[in-house]
Structure 1
Amino acid sequence: MKLLLVTLLLICVLGAPMSGTLRIWQTSDIHGWVDAHPHQHMTEGLADFLGLVETEKGMIDDDEATEFLLLDSGDQVQGTGFSDATDIDGSFIFAMMKHLPYDGMTVGNHELGLPDTVKMLHDHASDLFTESDLYVTTNTIWGSNKGESQEDMKPLGQTRYRTMTLKKFDMKVIIFGWIYNFDHDIADAYVADAVETINSDWFKAVIEKEKPDFVINLNHIATSDPQNNNIYLAQRALMPDTPLLLLTGHSHQFRHANCIAADGSTDPQCFMSEPMCYLYMFVEMDLHFTRASGKWQWADLPSHKSVSAYTSSFTRAVGGAEFETQQSKAMQAEVDQMNRELRLDHVLGCSDKKYSRTTAPYGPDKESSFLYFFFKVMEKIVYVTPAPATPTVSLLNRGLLRANMYAGQVTTGDLYTIIPFPDDFYLLTLTGAELKMLLDLNYHPDPAQPVERESRVDELAFSANYAELPHYMLSISPKDIDVAQQYNVVCTKYDSAVFVHHLNLVGPSKPGYAVVLYQHKIDPQDALKEYLVQYMTC
């Protein structure tokens, strides 16, 4: 009898695969981009991506040594008319993403900033997703009781974690979904601290119960954010040998990084990856596993590459195979129909040139700067007339403009991609000295900490390089600020909260600063639309 049991055990062990490859395709920060990028001549949209995924999965299904997962790291909505011109932001985007065979998705900050979208994700998840545990929100919690125990917390999404078994390898996988410590108010939900969650008895019990061979974290957290490595360290303390993958998002950059262990060394069983945004590209990653002593380990750190949304790149990704499918054609027909229903191709006006959002509004190239152009929109459309005795200036976040404006026809669809976020204008009345204090935020972005140096505004080295543009841009040159002059400062509601908080910490009149709704009640998107119609006819 003992001999029989030993024989059966040997058969099971020897018959189990000892190596295998997991191919992962990762998207993040799609922001409603379902219909390609015609201005950049990137012709492949979400429907084409569906065809590509179906083609790839078909090939991998026939490969006994390879498995495939499709995963997304959040911010599915806000950024195009397909998302933002619908009754509920993102309803059409989730309907389109439902066509794709995702194995895991998580939430981003842009979903959380939209009350109707938050409610839709929670109340109608069964209509939005093909499986009951696909949308994973481990630390984004439904309800308002921030004091409840981890055991009592309910997810905003469908589940706080998801498990699956890769059948070709008999590998147990667990998926978590994290977001950074989002401190803005969320309708009917809140964010629990990720590391505190991992250190909780609830999380430890999950790991003990599921005993995963491999952990995937869908992190709507920028790769450069130290919180990712803190998540890794907390998980590594519980799982000393388990491979950990952090699929990051939020920064809109193509990035990858190693995980740094507590002793400062690189962990060979942990990796981070981020795939840029707007479906400009996705990340393809191959993870080569080997099994020894019953444990799965990476043979080496994951090999990864970006695949851009060009036909040639998509074709190469599947070895030259045709990737248009019946399902992808049907999906594209849905996208085209919605484009007509929303009138996104309606022409508002014509631009004489390309206006670049990455060019500074000061200096020799200012005529090509979209910010410089938009400051003229502010003067013509937003500012009240006649001009009051106190001069009016604009202080705008460079992120207000999310896309360039290109030469030729400018459509309603372009308008939504340029300024996707509706936000009222607010007014601060400040001295020039106080205005310079706000510009100091370009050097010390944490308003909770005082600025311990004199203003360096006059030393700004403005550059056409977007990475070097200051975060907050003024409609007049900072050198022309009169510190004794009083100014009416127009800004968006979102930025006004940052400005007031900063001034109430460091300003001479602290804590007496406040903003009021600007008397001309128009948002940036409508202001640009009105300017196009009035001054840029075709």
Structure 2
Amino acid sequence: MLKSLGVLGGLAALLPSVVGCGDDGCYGPINRVEHVRQVKRMQPGAPNAVYGPKGPLEWGQVNFLHTTDTHGWLEGHLKEQNYGADWGDFVTFTRRMRQTAGNMGVDMLLIDTGDLHDGNGVSDATKVDGTESMPIFDEVDYDLLTIGNHELYVSEVAYQMFNEYARKWGERYVTSNVKVLNKATGRYEYVGATHRYFTTAKGLRVMAFGVLFDFTGNSNASQVLKAKDMVKEGWFTQALASSSPVDLFILFGHNPVRQSDPSSTFKTVFDAIRSAHPKTPVQIFGGHTHIRDFAVYDDAAVALESGRYCETLGWASMSGFDGANSGFRGVRNPHGVANPGRPARAGSAAPWVYSRRYLDWNRKTFVYHSSQDEETYDYHSGQRVTGDITAVRDQLKLGDVYGCAPQDWCMSCAPFTDEKNIFPGVIVPAVAAVVVNETRADKARIIVGNSGAVRFDLHKGPFTYDDNFIVSPFRDVFLYLPDVPFDKASKVITQLNKGAASKRELASMAVPRDSCTDPTLGYLSRREQREERGVVRRQEAVVPGYVTSDDWGTDG
């Protein structure tokens, strides 16, 4: 049943059994974890934040909510503070914010920049990734969506996006440089629209391009056109030369917004837009690097990147439109709220002013910014989606417990050599225990792996079927070369690390043997894992969020 073969199976084996861990280790004999709610919550099992947003949002003439790199985390973060809202909470929030924008007489646009798979059991525990998660994701009425590289690794997922969701989303799904093989015609065809030209509710005429970075790890079911070649395509040059007026360009994609990032191709497309439209504002939305970031391109172009894993909801707003420079017919300055007042950079002569915020993904955030309270916030549609998530988790048995983690292990909060780091603390001993050819068990091994296979921290407490996908959602396949001379084998990792991607050696080391990690204490059979052992209620310690430094400083 496990799709993450090998390493995570070893990880569960190294973690103690549910029974063997004891009351002081992982909360006693249980097979389900239910977190105590510090305030009202919708999705069972997730704690909410204990602090709220720093202040109201600045509402402009056009306002944006931006998601990226959600990777199936539609259930929210069940073991962490501050990011506990689920997709049902977000559904309600988007609908309330659209209503607020309408009442103010301004525009609101919702944008997603891809990577919807690989990261959570809701998306990855089905035969074809996304079978259960994509209908839930589709409950949000986005204005613009585009594709991520994690929709292209596996052919079945690429076909899912091409045959199902591109059809559902129509012109809103913009994939300017990605094609998928149409089995019916035998030709590669654009997954979605090459671009979208539309008019907002308040009259802004928008042209949007959705551009994936120059990805090369896709299966042969898809093709990715390099940005430098895309801007030479006839449809692109014709779009820029169109006589239809454009008040605002939206350049969005699964692409880092930081121009100095070697994988970003936004600058190539931006320069092409600027050559034809030197003064038209360009609003950029990116993703892929899993960070919060805001970058200034010029006096009339700024870029927002909004984190990962349903931890962050990006907010941007802008004003400066009037009858002379646009078709905007809404309110110039929304009343009763703060308005954006900051130019892209000091000394700008352009009329555009902006705001940006990174919102923590929790109910306190959503309730506060929708001007509701816990009793009035929920819409039936959001509650229904929350119920759908709960049903999918039960159906896929994502709460089943396989063992326990006696402590937290993180990817980046501790140095790579520290035992609190997940690589030496968990992955190395798991690989050492599992990646064994029994016919050669007496021979020395050097095991080399890519650190990118591990996607998230492992938190203290019961290790569930869901955690299996959260830590490492990929199918782990190990290949081996026998009898390689040590003088050559020992140089492999050095050579690999000279490549473009950062890779780390997973050299064998002794497996810990203590009362909470010794697998000889025994672990449960599948039948025993299904037996009811009660529920533990656990209240999380309060922890702060994180601060981001970007082109505007640290006040986001």
Same fold (TM over 0.5): yes
Q: Secondary structure at the match of 1:202?
A: helix
Give the number of the structure with larger relative contact order, counting CA–CA contacts within 8 Å between residues 6 or more apart: 2
Q: Which residue of 1 aligns with 2:232?
A: 199
Distance 2:458 2:269 in 1: 39
Note the 1:351-370 alignment, pairs <5 A. Answer: 351-358=405-412, 363=417, 365-366=418-419, 369-370=422-423
> Residue 163 of structure 2 is aligned with which of 123, 130, 143?
123
Distance 2:268 2:111 in 1: 22
> Residue 313 of structure 1 is aligned with which of 340, 358, 365?
365
Structure 1: stretches of 5+ with no match in the other structure? 1-18, 260-266, 448-469, 478-527
Cα distance change, pair 357–67 in 1 and its aligned pair in 2 (3 A): same
Distance 2:485 2:415 in 1: 22
> Residue 69 of structure 2 is aligned with which of 2, 19, 29?
29
Distance 1:30 1:400 in 2: 17
Over residues 380-437 of structure 1, what are the superposed CA-to-partner deviations in whole Å (9 max), with x where a residue is unaligned?
2221236555411222222222122222211111111111111311124544444454
Q: Which residue of 2 aligns with 1:223?
A: 257
Distance 1:191 1:215 in 2: 22
Q: Which residue of 2 aligns with 1:63?
A: 104
Q: Secondary structure at the match of 2:256?
A: coil
Q: Secondary structure at the match of 1:366?
A: coil
Note the 1:171-182 alignment, pairs <5 A. Answer: 171-182=204-215
Q: Secondary structure at the match of 2:139?
A: coil
Measure how far apart 1:239 and its partner are.
1.5
Q: Which residue of 1 aligns with 2:134?
A: 94
Measure how far apart 1:101 and its partner are.
1.1
Over residues 128-169 of structure 1, what are the superposed CA-to-partner deviations in whole Å (9 max), with x where a residue is unaligned?
x3x421211110023399xx9xxx973112x1112221232x
Distance 1:531 1:26 in 2: 46
Measure how far apart 1:303 and its partner are.
1.2
8 Å contact from structure 2 (residues 496, 503) kept in 1: yes
Cα distance change, pair 377–292 in 1 and its aligned pair in 2 (3 A): same
Distance 1:177 1:229 in 2: 13
Distance 2:230 2:450 in 1: 33
Over residues 152-209 of structure 1, what are the superposed CA-to-partner deviations in whole Å (9 max), with x where a residue is unaligned?
973112x1112221232x2111121111111234343201122322233321212233
Cα distance change, pair 77–431 in 1 and its aligned pair in 2 (3 A): same
8 Å contact from structure 2 (residues 89, 363) kept in 1: no
Cα distance change, pair 361–71 in 1 and its aligned pair in 2 (3 A): closer
Correspondence 1:154 to 2:154: no
Distance 2:227 2:420 in 1: 45
Distance 2:452 2:188 in 1: 34
Distance 2:216 2:423 in 1: 31
* AA aligned opposite 2:112: D
* AA aligned opposite 2:308: C
Q: Which residue of 1 aligns with 2:112?
A: 72
Structure 2: stretches of 5+ with no match in the other structure? 1-58, 328-348, 510-518, 534-556
Quick check: 246-255 or 294-303, which moved more?
294-303
Q: Secondary structure at the match of 1:291?
A: coil
Q: Secondary structure at the match of 2:455?
A: coil
Measure how far apart 1:227 and its partner are.
1.7
Which protein has the larger Cα radius of gyration, Structure 1 or Structure 2?
Answer: 1
> Residue 449 of structure 2 is aligned with which of 378, 389, 396?
396
Q: TM-score, normalised by structure 1?
A: 0.73
Cα distance change, pair 351–142 in 1 and its aligned pair in 2 (3 A): closer
Q: Which residue of 1 aligns with 2:175?
A: 137
Over residues 480-505 of structure 1, what are the superposed CA-to-partner deviations in whole Å (9 max), with x where a residue is unaligned?
xxxxxxxxxxxxxxxxxxxxxxxxxx
Q: Which residue of 1 aligns with 2:285?
A: 247
Measure how far apart 1:214 and its partner are.
0.9
* AA aligned opposite 1:184: G
Quick check: 335-344 or 225-234, which moved more?
225-234
Q: TM-score, normalised by structure 2?
A: 0.71
Greater fraction helix: 1
Over residues 431-456 of structure 1, what are the superposed CA-to-partner deviations in whole Å (9 max), with x where a residue is unaligned?
44444544335763338xxxxxxxxx
Greater fraction strand: 1
RMSD value, Cα: 3.1
Correspondence 1:412 to 2:453: no
Distance 2:485 2:60 in 1: 66
Correspondence 1:475 to 2:507: yes
Distance 1:22 1:38 in 2: 34
Distance 1:366 1:29 in 2: 28
* AA aligned opposite 1:372: G
Aligned residues: 428
> Residue 83 of structure 1 is aligned with which of 102, 123, 127?
123
Cα distance change, pair 47–187 in 1 and its aligned pair in 2 (3 A): farther
Over residues 243-275 of structure 1, what are the superposed CA-to-partner deviations in whole Å (9 max), with x where a residue is unaligned?
11221110001111121xxxxxxx111111110
* AA aligned opposite 1:329: Q
Measure how far apart 1:82 and its partner are.
0.9
